[in-house]
Amino acid sequence: MWSGFKSIAAAAFALGAAAASFTAAEARELKEILKSGTIKIGVPESFPPFGSVGASGEHEGYDVDVAKMIAKDMGVKLEMVLVTSKQRIPFLETDRVDLVISTLGANPDRAKSIWFSHAYAPFFSGAFAKAGVEVFSVADLAGKKVAVTGGTLEDLKLSAVAPKDAKITRFGDNAGTIAAFVSGQVDVIVTGNITALQISKDHPDFELEVKFVLSNSPSYIGVKTGSMDLLKWVNVWVLTRKLNGTLDTLSKKWLGQPLPPLPAL
């Protein structure tokens, strides 16, 4: 009888522990964040211009500004948590952060683990060239000298759609691709918008332009699965900041371009 009682007690204890574990893992909802007076937001540890240590010694960037505005508009204190790419989703799943604002792209695999807000920032690959180069679509690459880093997603996409007479040169790394473009060996560089932004900063006389977008992968705010009220609030925030031009101002400040049309989920 005593052994049976112990078995029942052990089972009850295990059930209680499991329930406590489940409660601890539950998503922190909007009302709980408001009550606590603090929101924990993951931002890029070192990925300029979205988040990195600036000349002032303070962490700054597009995503950092977005995190600060969200906390201010929510009326709570910001606890900024620096994350690497690999930490973004695990930190959200384990309640180390309430939101992740760190150039997070959405895809079906990631959507099994977390929820995504409406897109708030552009992130894309495209063709870039000086202002005087007449390229408006992929068809206009015919006869043009084009630089791309071999084996990248940009290379695979470009190879699939470029005209047969486009003179594509594939380089072993980004440094070689950039050097070829900067030195005038090619007319067009196919790369990510962040790389192009750095070229533009280093060589403002180029008046670098986005000629066309090759592939689009905008950034979304990550929300823990189950935080429905928080997700709804964030989506209203993104919509409002798009409509009043705030995100456009941030895009011009940090990314050197107007905010393009972004998808809503």
Q: Which two tokens stand for residue 53?
A: 């240590």
Range with lowest mean pLDDT among 19-23, 215-219, 245-249, 259-263: 19-23
Q: What pLDDT does residue 17 have? A: 43
- Res 26: pLDDT: 60
28-123+217-255 with 125-216: one CATH topology? yes
Phi-psi sector, 97: left (phi>0), alpha (psi -120 to 50), beta: beta
Element (H, E) at 19: helix 2-25
27 pLDDT exceeds 60?
Answer: yes
Q: Domain extents for the chain?
A: 28-123+217-255, 125-216
Cα three-residue angle 44-49-51, rounded to 5 degrees: 25
CA dist 205 and 224 (Å) reads 44
176 vs 256 pLDDT, higher one: 176
Eight-state DSSP code of residue 261: P
CA distance 244 to 247: 8
| Total-model pTM | 0.75
From CA 217, how far away is CA 219, in angstroms rounded? 7
- Judged against a pLDDT cut of 60, whether residue 20 lies above it is answered with no
Position 68 pLDDT exceeds 50: yes
pLDDT value, residue 226: 93
**DSSP annotation string for the chain:** -HHHHHHHHHHHHHHHHHHHHHHHHSPPPHHHHHHHTEEEEEEESSBTTTBEE-TTSSEESHHHHHHHHHHHHHTSEEEEEEE-GGGHHHHHHTTS-SEEEEEE---TTGGGTEEEEEEEE--EEEEEE-TTS---SGGGGTT-EEEEETTSHHHHHHHHHS-TT-EEEEESSHHHHHHHHHTTS-SEEEEEHHHHHHHHHH-GGG--EEEEEEEE--EEEEEETT-HHHHHHHHHHHHHHHHTTHHHHHIIIIISSPPPP----
Kindly report the average pLDDT of the chain as a whole number: 89
Looking at the DSSP assignment, which residues form a beta bridge with residue 100? 42, 222
User: What's the whole-number mean pLDDT along residues 87-93?
Assistant: 95
pLDDT in tens, 188-218: 999 998 889 889 989 999 999 999 999 888 9
Percent of the chain with pLDDT over 90: 74
Hey, which CATH number is domain 28-123+217-255, 3.10.270.10, 1.20.120.80, 3.40.50.1370, 3.40.190.10? 3.40.190.10
How would CATH label the architecture of 125-216? 3-Layer(aba) Sandwich (3.40)
Bridge partners for 58 per DSSP: none
Q: What is the pLDDT of residue 21?
A: 38
